[in-house]
Amino acid sequence: MMPSNFFTDWAFMIPFFITACFSLGVYLLLTAGSGDVLWFWSGQEILVGLFVAVVVGWVARGFFCDSRRRAALNPKRWLRAVGYVCGPFFIELAKANVDVAYRVITGRIRPGIVRVKSGMETDLGVLMLANSITLTPGTLTVDINEDTNDLYVHVINVSDDVAARDALEAHEIFSTFDCPSWIRRIAE
């Protein structure tokens, strides 16, 4: 489906360009050290990378790039994402594993499914929150209500007051850091 005014059709070109740049970046990261044309790469790798990036950008522009929101392009958010993964997220992940180790060894579990209000508005925010919940202490995202963005979370050890309540707020899932506000600053 080639649009008639190809190079000025921004609704087509912008997602295409972003996807192509991203895939070219990943390709160059994987082939770093192959030569010395541009410091690290050989000429052939750059040429093949450009070709592959154009093809991938053409094919994947529709589902890689949400056409409305451009906020995720801000480099500050990328830095924040790296900081989030290395800092709060990794500590929560380590605590989750000590918790699971304790449950495996003792076999002491009280499982249950609870409802969590995510408070996110974009799909990317909900995705990041769901993945963070899956990898943090004793919780596993089971289902998403796509109308209200509520998450249904399987918790391996439900306390009594949590079981009595109707819905939790997202930050109550995480014990030490306020991960949802980090995610909100990254993704929305």
Catalog residues that contact another protein under the rule CB under 8 A: 29-30, 32-33, 93-94, 96-97, 100-101, 103-105, 107, 109-115, 130-131, 134-135, 138, 140-143, 152, 154, 156, 158, 162-163, 166-167
Q: Where are the alpha helices (DSSP H) in the chain?
A: 10-30, 43-64, 75-84, 90-106, 123-134, 160-164, 179-187
- 68 vs 108, which CB is nearer to another protein? 108
Shortest spacing between CB 110 and another protein, in angstroms: 5
Tell me if 58 sits within 8 A of 18, measured CB to CB: no
Shortest spacing between CB 109 and another protein, in angstroms: 6
Q: Report the C-alpha gap between 176 and 106 in whole angstroms.
A: 24
- 58 vs 152, which CB is nearer to another protein? 152
Q: Report the C-alpha gap between 179 and 85 in whole angstroms.
A: 10
- 21 vs 32, which CB is nearer to another protein? 32
- 5 vs 106, which CB is nearer to another protein? 106
- 11 vs 105, which CB is nearer to another protein? 105
Rounded to 5 degrees, what are φ and ψ at 36? -140, 30
- 3 vs 48, which CB is nearer to another protein? 48
> How many Cβ atoms sit within 10 Å of the Cβ of residue 7?
8
Q: 60-87 burial by CB neighbour count: b if 16+ within 10 A, else e?
A: bbeebbeeeeeebeeeebeebbeebeee
Tell me if 182 sits within 8 A of 86, measured CB to CB: no
Shortest spacing between CB 93 and another protein, in angstroms: 6
Shortest spacing between CB 130 and another protein, in angstroms: 6
Q: Report the C-alpha gap between 155 and 76 in whole angstroms.
A: 33
Shortest spacing between CB 27 and another protein, in angstroms: 12
Shortest spacing between CB 34 and another protein, in angstroms: 9
